[in-house]
Amino acid sequence: MADHDDMDSVEGRMKRPLDDEETMGNSDDPPKRRRGEGPRVELRVLLQSKNAGAIIGKGGSNIKRLRTDFKASVTVPDSNGPERVLTLSAELGTVLEVLLDVIPSLEDYRDDSQYKNKHGEFDTELRMIVHQSQAGCIIGRAGFKVKELREKTGAGIKVYSTCCPSSTDRIVGITGKRKVVVGCVEEIIELLQSAPPKGPIQ
């Protein structure tokens, strides 16, 4: 199945080389899928606890807005540690739009000009949580798939080799401009649709 997907991917790039070159890493590109489109998915993102308040908002106002406006499940459970998990559940296109909305809330340096380019866009790092059994699907044999994802999306991608403490999850760090990062998340989620988690989950 994976080989067939890879062939489709390569074939698609051969047919549209100019499109890929023009759009690679272009921060103005919207996600391929629109709100309400695509399979229903769950995305988990590791946050600094100090940034969770910006997503929740005063009296829960912002998280209520996200749930109402996007008709998505948005949760940020309390945690005693320095990090919390943001979970988004909805159709893939909707999840990507919510992610575009919340990424600016995750950055401590969004007002610091040294991190911005001439368009006012800043580099961001998103820490996506995946089950340990799915990491190999993202990396690919001898690192082929992760290299292909980097080239296709223009994002920096690092799959952490160890699991989170007391967990069967691993972190995928994705860096780049906001829409580049969201485009990379879209590619990874679609890839993982063919590789559901296997083994124990905690």
One pLDDT digit (tens) per residue for the chain, 202 residues: 444 444 444 344 344 333 333 334 444 455 566 777 789 999 999 999 989 999 999 999 999 999 999 999 999 999 888 899 999 999 999 999 999 999 988 765 444 444 455 445 678 999 999 999 999 999 999 999 999 999 999 999 999 998 888 888 999 999 999 999 999 999 999 999 988 788 777 7
CA 193 to chain centre: 14
Closest among 121, 128, 124 to 146, alpha carbons compared: 128
User: Which residues face 90 on adjacent strands?
Assistant: 41
d(CA 101, CA 177): 13
How far is Cα 134 from Cα 132, in angstroms, rounded to an integer?
5
Whats the size of the chain, residue-wise? 202
pTM score, whole prediction: 0.78
